[in-house]
Chains A and B, each alone.
Chain A
Amino acid sequence: MKPGLYDVVFSPELAGIFVHESVGHPFELDRIMGREGAEAGESYMSLEDLGKRIASEHVTIIDDPTIEAYGFYLVDEEGVPARPRRLIDRGVASEFLSNREYAAYVGRLSNAAARASEFDKEPIPRMSNTYLAPGDWDPEEIIRDTRRGIYVASYTEWNIDDRREYGRYGILEGYVIEDGELKEPVLGFIEAESRAFWSSVDAVGKDLKLYIGTCGKGNPSQGVPVTFGGPTFRARGIRVV
């Protein structure tokens, strides 16, 4: 299919990789404040972005360690009781992931994101179970409502820059949508600039699913168990090449 801008419907699997890479990581407060600058990188977010609109009103992204999934915990590695964190609340940047140290730098209390992969590793701000909150669309309804676009069911060869601004996701399984119906298979890449991408979301489904993974960060590198997911959703005018 010709490279260009398309309305794209993404499966829960795609919702997962998007929330993890383009929202979860850049909302880690130690990144935002430069501590990971030489390794995992920094962030397109700044302290001043808190309270500002960075996504459409349909987008709420939550990181919740209290869900009994692969990223579950009730108390973080610094003894802070866990609770859900609304990173983006109806499009507005609402909360960063912090440990005690980085919360103190900005005059706040830790929101229990301090995790360490082993007893002798330092606790640093990490994700747990991160997801795009469900909306009120049936997933099939989103496809039926799309005149001409692409449905992406699964991805391959993804990567993103170290400020988490420019993501690129290979389409492993995708289909052309014509007049609300899935047609022939399609391959290609989704190019997603994080803020523009989340600002273009106009429909979010009910079918929340979580996927497990091991998230890497830190020096020495610490892999911690996480889940990431969401429901089927649609973003308008996305560059597909």
Chain B
Amino acid sequence: MSWLAESLIRLLRGKAGEAAVVVRESEEYLIRFANDEVTVADSWRSYEAGVYLAKGRRVAVAGFSGSSEDILRQALSLAEALDKYPEDPYYVPLSPKGPRPFPNAARPFDLNKALDLVWEAIQAARAEGAERSAGALSYAVRSTHYADSLGNSMSYKDSAAVGVIRAFIGRDLAATWAAASRDYLSLGLKEAGARAASIAGAAKGLPLTRLENGNYRVLMSGLVLGHLMGYVISAWSSALNVLTGVSKYGPNDLGSEAASSLLTVYDLSLKEDRVGSAPFDYEGNPTNDTPVFEKGVLKSFLHNNRTAAKLGVSSTGNAAGPGGWTSPAPRHIGVAPGDMASDLDDALKELGKGVYIHNNWYTRFQNIREGVFSTVGRDVILVVEGGAPKYRARGVRIAERFDSLLRGVEALSKSAEQIHWWDMPYPATAPALALYGSLALAY
């Protein structure tokens, strides 16, 4: 699709003073299953284009999808409206600095092999006590091309695989495990199936209780930690949010102690084997692994050229996606491991008395600047006493503030793994478990 990127630039060069386009072609593959049977085996090809245009200090950005004809037509419409836009106080000239080295490799998809992986995962879950499983294996092979009106062009090829399995026992008990990888053959879906069933089984036979609203010691899985840190990083460390007052942090907060000294969180945009990483961003700049919190200290915000110019620093290469031309965003959340056990039984002993939340979804906010949110527990929720599960609970939420997530960490597991699923905002590499001394839970 480099021809489309070049065609767009030829078309737009005369309409705008500056133009940059990023065209992505994706081959997508998906196997879904439910009740131990495959429900969908599908493949399709998609085309997306991000377009940046500037005329004087007037700027327009947009993302388009559809056929190449649709994309060309929509880009032209955007260019023709450019004179109507107000001047942009964040305008900076295009200045791409080129890509990082990148493997540019992707394994071709083999449907039969992938179906075997799904079947093995279902069987592994059954062997561990699941009565039925649902899940998905998705794989994408993508070619991404950048071109601009200064004559620069660059390309890369990558892949992304996500495998998720949710094991059910009866109607009430369920647990999910989800893995992400560059290679669908390396997802470990079979192990994920066994792991999900084992966790669901931990609640089997436990009496159901209702948790009263209040503060509890909480052990959460990496699925929950990765999900929540994705929201924290995107909301509070995007430099546009810092500049516009949407983030709690201001430019002078860099260097302050903002989190537990146990907490180190990176945006892993450069690490090649992390799903989402890339050799260059939508401004044509090299990406980085950017520390946001390092041992609790706020180290950096995520920048594109525009925000970096405002704060007198260099871009971190976080113009991620068409929206990244205006608001920098992370690509892969990396939470550094700690020294707590990764095994659930051992970590429950560490928890002592409290609540284990295995998975979550439906995170919503009252106030992003204050970080006031709630998220709904999903899958098994164990009420733990004396280091062992005593009850199971339903309808439990974490109703908290970002600050509590950042400052309240007491321990993190030794092992971290790459995860992603349908309701996680970003792929993440997160410790298997995280222990919090006190989090507010609500019904």
Contact = CB atoms under 8 A, between A and B. Distances in A.
B213 A34 contact: no
Interface string A71-83: 0000000000000
A159 B373 CA distance: 10
A37 B34 contact: yes
Contact of B422 (A42, A120, A219): A219
Contacts, number: 96
Interface string A182-209: 0000000101010000000000000000
Interface string A156-172: 11111110011010100
Contact of A159 (B34, B138, B363, B443): B363
Nearest to B213: A241
A189 B28 CA distance: 41
A122 interface: yes
B300 interface: no
Contact of A38 (B30, B363, B366, B422): B422
Interface in B121-166: 132, 134-136, 138, 164-166
Closest 3 CB pairs of A and B: A166-B395, A37-B134, A159-B362
A116 B372 CA distance: 34
A39 interface: yes
Contacts of B423: 39
A220 interface: yes
Nearest to B35: A34
Contact of B374 (A33, A46, A159, A165): A159
Contact of B44 (A38, A120, A189): A120
A37 B33 CA distance: 9
B166 A168 contact: no
Nearest to B443: A191
Size range of the chain B interface in the assembly = 35 or more
Nearest to A170: B366
B42 interface: yes
A37 B374 contact: no
5 contacts: A34-B35, A35-B39, A38-B165, A161-B395, A219-B32
Nearest to B361: A162
Given A39-B136, A170-B366, A161 B42 contact: no
Interface string B19-57: 000000000101010110001101010000000000000
A52 to B, nearest CB: 16
A162 B377 CA distance: 9
A46 to B, nearest CB: 8
Interface centre among B176, B373, B375, B422 (most CB of A within 10 A): B422
Interface string B354-375: 0000000111111000001111
Contacts of A40: 422
Contacts of B135: 38
Given A166-B394, A166-B395, A170-B366, A221 B422 contact: yes
Given A38-B135, A38-B422, A166 B366 contact: no
Contacts of A159: 362-364, 374-376, 397
Interface string A15-48: 0000000000000000001111111111000100
Interface string B374-401: 1111100000000000000011010000
B1 to A, nearest CB: 17
Interface of A: 3, 33-42, 46, 120, 122, 156-162, 165-166, 168, 170, 189, 191, 193, 219-221, 241
B92 interface: no
Given A122-B42, A157-B372, A168-B442, A37 B364 contact: no
Nearest to B168: A37
Nearest to A221: B422
Contacts of B30: 219-220
Contact of A161 (B44, B166, B363, B378): B378
A33 to B, nearest CB: 8
Contacts of A160: 362, 376
A220 B136 CA distance: 10
Interface in B328-375: 361-366, 372-375
Contacts of A241: 213, 442-443
A97 B269 CA distance: 42
A157 B34 contact: no
Contacts of B394: 161, 165-166
B366 A157 contact: yes
A101 to B, nearest CB: 9
A3 B44 CA distance: 51
A156 B373 CA distance: 10
Nearest to A43: B171
A219 B378 contact: no
Given A37-B134, A157-B364, A219-B422, A168 B374 contact: yes
Contacts of A41: 361, 378
B316 to A, nearest CB: 28
Interface centre among B42, B213, B395 (most CB of A within 10 A): B395
Contacts of A165: 394-395
Contacts of B42: 122
Interface centre among A161, A189, A221 (most CB of B within 10 A): A161
Nearest to A165: B395
A223 to B, nearest CB: 13
Contact of A157 (B32, B132, B213, B365): B365
Interface string B238-271: 0000000000000000000000000000000000
Given A42-B171, A168-B442, 12 more contacts: A33-B34, A34-B35, A34-B168, A35-B134, A38-B164, A41-B378, A120-B44, A162-B361, A165-B394, A165-B395, A168-B376, A170-B366
